[in-house]
Chains A and B, each alone.
Chain A
Amino acid sequence: MWNMPFFVFLFFVGIVLGLSFYLGRRARSAKGFYAAHGTIPWFVNGIAFAGDYLSAASFLGICGLIALYGYDGFLYSIGYLAGWIVALFVIAEPIKRLGRFTFADALDARFNSRGIKLTAAISTLVVSIFYLIPQMVGAGALVKPLLNLPHWSGVLIVGVTVIVIVVTAGMVSTTWVQFIKGSLLVVFCFVLVVMILNRGLKSDPRALGGQVLGIRTGYAAHNIVQSGETLVPPSGGWIGKPYARIRTADGHVLVFRERRWPKVNVPATFPPTEWLPTQTLTIAGSAQAVNGLPEDDTNQLKPIGGLILPNGESNTGPVGPFKYLATLEQSKIVSTGKEVIKEADGSETTVYYPIEERSGSSLLTPGGYFKGLKSEKTTDRLDFISLMIALFCGTASLPHILIRYYTVKDQASARKSTVVGIAAIGFFYILTLYLGLAAMTSGVMDPTDTGGNMAAPLLAKSFNPFLFAVISAIAFTTVLGTVSGLIMAASGAVAHDLMTNFFGIGMDDQQKVRAGKITSIAVGGVAMLLGIVCEQFNVSVLVGWAFAIAASANLPALVMLLFWKGTTKQGIAASVAVGMVSSLAWVLLAPDTYTKVYKVNVIAHPPLVPFSQPGIITIPLAFAVLVAVSFFTRKASEARGFEVVEASAK
């Protein structure tokens, strides 16, 4: 743990935090906080947009998803960026004209309604927590490769650090700090991609992901035992499975997986079958064993992920960006499957075995993660369509993204900043495609990283420890910034919107501050807990869900408020409530959640919803509810208006 990357990491985190505090203190003590913004050049503001927006989800999540599943991770990049178009062209300027800065205030600008205040505050709280979970998961994924600590310790470190910061000082993310973070992230990832293209693509000669031993051939398990080794007979969960366990002279227990013949077209004279080498991780209580011997510095799971170049090539040498993709298109990628075996003594062994090669061309088209895209039925594609809709609508529904838009001196500058921001973000997303594909094919992935969140840091680590440390530091400070902003937004929703405005609990300033701090601790605690529970999720998928909930709760109400005069306050409140509850319920009952959080077998207990992405159902539902409730309540308020006119006419 006490090595160069760690010190570089501490150094960078220290600088960024120190700068944040120093500039933040200056901005607060000088009352001209908003006046300062008028002097910030639009280019700087634009990069600060990118610094705000590119969170752990973009860097870790998208790279991880691409590394595990191929193209489908890139769908998230496309969707996240497309959402900016909705935000810029439809929402940003009309909201500014309402004279409000947050979504909750904007919804309430016309009506001043308690119902809207309540539902908007709860919606802010729910979306903030959902957005917090992937940041916490990301923190764990950053700390593990850097410090060799378990995932939950990273979550704890971030959670406690942020709570301490928020409760004692409050972190003001000034434009200059976001500018520095944004430019460092883009620049260093660009450097990494240049290194990747320069290294080119290499065939893994062992092609089975870093295994020391090769394939063995033999008709049956006892035929592949070599001298000095003994066969371990099947017991417990091993019975009936296609494995051979062999104890070597030095005490390792190697597991070989039989490559089975297909059920048809079996040749007349059987050649011996191939037995593929695997890695095993056995967990008994708190003890972990790798390949049969206790885990320690010399005995660890080896990284996985390899490539077989076309035409038997072993190395492409440096390639350009298009040639890199074209070569992958023609190659085969070796990936790893896993199976969990319950031993007779109660411990669990996970076997990581190489999967038959996947073709590069199938991985570079959609369908690796959204498996429905490869099926015959169009209805199986609904999960994918649902996601694309949710991402498209989601950016505009997250008001903390747009705040920076309003603190420039005029709208012309704001538009210029946005162009710069979109350019930076779009460029970064193109970089993540290369980072993800490189992580998949360079033999760096951790077999236990189910969500893929560690793919990008592990890739950087394999190229250059210094680069790895710097990128990890920037990503970590980004997580700190996002988490503190979200905790403050959530505690603001509770302390200010709910307690003061809705419940009308009178509090003096000191009590309000105390309520805010207590809420911060509570929200932080909840986020940490959920961050630990959701370790197996890819962070981009989690953010995608946060987007779906925000898009269902906020966007229909916002759009109808801006563009339809028939919107009533009850319609808005109902739309926000229904959108939020339906999308949240959907996510909690989704197949992915069943498998990864509740750890329930989905065949034995089918989930209550058919696919994991709610957007395609819940967003139209919220629109429909708004229109229906507005119709009914408009008649009521019109009638009331009529009575008032009549009464006053008498």
Chain B
Amino acid sequence: MSNLSAPPPGHEDHPDITSHNSRLGLVLFFVYLALYAGFIAVTTFRPNLLAKTPFAGVNLAILYGFGLILAALILAAVYMALCKPGSSGQEK
């Protein structure tokens, strides 16, 4: 049964807001996917690269791993910052 009353403009479920947020979400998802796929690709096709130690004597495998963890955090923060919040209709 369809909901006959659509969310009002400014509500967090209103299409103007959700389509912006969904697009943002998908863009950030693909950014992370590229980083993650890059890790898989390097490990699969150029594993020797991972043994190199570019920074502080720590090898690329560990640095890339740390980088992916950090990237997840940064992207989540970017998402939080750039999303249009809208209201949830629960304020008094």
A positions within 8 Å CB-CB of B? 38, 71, 74-75, 77-78, 81-82, 84-86, 88-90, 93-94, 97, 322-323, 325-327, 329-330, 361, 364-367, 373-374, 378, 381, 384-385, 388, 392, 409-412, 415-416, 418-419, 422-423, 426, 429-430, 433
A411 to B22 alpha-carbon distance, docked (Å): 13
Q: Is the CB of B66 within 8 A of A90?
A: no
How far does the Cβ of A322 sit from chain B's closest Cβ, in whole Å?
4
Q: Is the CB of B61 within 8 A of A412?
A: no
Q: Is the CB of A74 within 8 A of B65?
A: yes
Q: Is the CB of B83 within 8 A of A422?
A: no
Q: Is the interface of B mostly helix, strand, loop or mixed?
A: helix
Q: Is the CB of B53 within 8 A of A329?
A: yes
A367 to B50 alpha-carbon distance, docked (Å): 11
Q: Is the CB of A325 within 8 A of B26?
A: no
With beta carbons under 8 angstroms apart, the residue of A82, A361, A373, A419 that contacts B47 is A373
A326 to B66 alpha-carbon distance, docked (Å): 15
A476 to B40 alpha-carbon distance, docked (Å): 34
A392 to B35 alpha-carbon distance, docked (Å): 12
With beta carbons under 8 angstroms apart, the residue of B57, B62, B66, B77 that contacts A419 is B77
Q: Is the interface of A mostly helix, strand, loop or mixed?
A: helix
**Assuming the A-B contacts A93-B25, A419-B77, are A392 and B72 also in contact, with contact meaning beta carbons closer than 8 angstroms in the complex?**
no
A327 to B57 alpha-carbon distance, docked (Å): 8
With beta carbons under 8 angstroms apart, the residue of B28, B57, B70 that contacts A326 is B57
B35-92 interface with A by 8 A CB criterion: 36, 39-40, 43-45, 47, 50-51, 53, 55-59, 61-62, 65-66, 68-70, 72-73, 75-77, 79-80, 83, 85-88, 90
How far does the Cβ of A362 sit from chain B's closest Cβ, in whole Å?
8
B positions within 8 Å CB-CB of A? 12-13, 18, 21-22, 25-26, 28-29, 32, 36, 39-40, 43-45, 47, 50-51, 53, 55-59, 61-62, 65-66, 68-70, 72-73, 75-77, 79-80, 83, 85-88, 90
Residues of A within 8 A of B50 (CB): 365-366
**Assuming the A-B contacts A365-B50, A366-B43, A373-B47, are A85 and B59 also in contact, with contact meaning beta carbons closer than 8 angstroms in the complex?**
no
Q: Is the CB of B73 within 8 A of A426?
A: yes
**Assuming the A-B contacts A93-B21, A411-B85, are A384 and B43 also in contact, with contact meaning beta carbons closer than 8 angstroms in the complex?**
yes
With beta carbons under 8 angstroms apart, the residue of B55, B75, B90 that contacts A410 is B90
Q: Is the CB of A365 within 8 A of B51?
A: yes
Q: Is the CB of A89 within 8 A of B25?
A: yes
Q: Is the CB of B18 within 8 A of A322?
A: no
Q: Chain B: which residue is nearest A392 at the CB level? A: B36
Q: Is the CB of B73 within 8 A of A322?
A: no
How far does the Cβ of B91 sit from chain A's closest Cβ, in whole Å?
9
Q: Is the CB of A364 within 8 A of B80?
A: no
How far does the Cβ of A312 sit from chain B's closest Cβ, in whole Å?
19
A323 to B72 alpha-carbon distance, docked (Å): 25
Residues of A within 8 A of B75 (CB): 85, 89
A410 to B10 alpha-carbon distance, docked (Å): 13
Residues of B within 8 A of A78 (CB): 39, 65, 68-69
With beta carbons under 8 angstroms apart, the residue of B43, B59, B65, B72 that contacts A329 is B59
Q: Is the CB of A415 within 8 A of B26?
A: no
Residues of A within 8 A of B73 (CB): 419, 422-423, 426
A392 to B47 alpha-carbon distance, docked (Å): 21
Q: Is the CB of A410 within 8 A of B85?
A: yes
Residues of A within 8 A of B32 (CB): 82, 85, 89
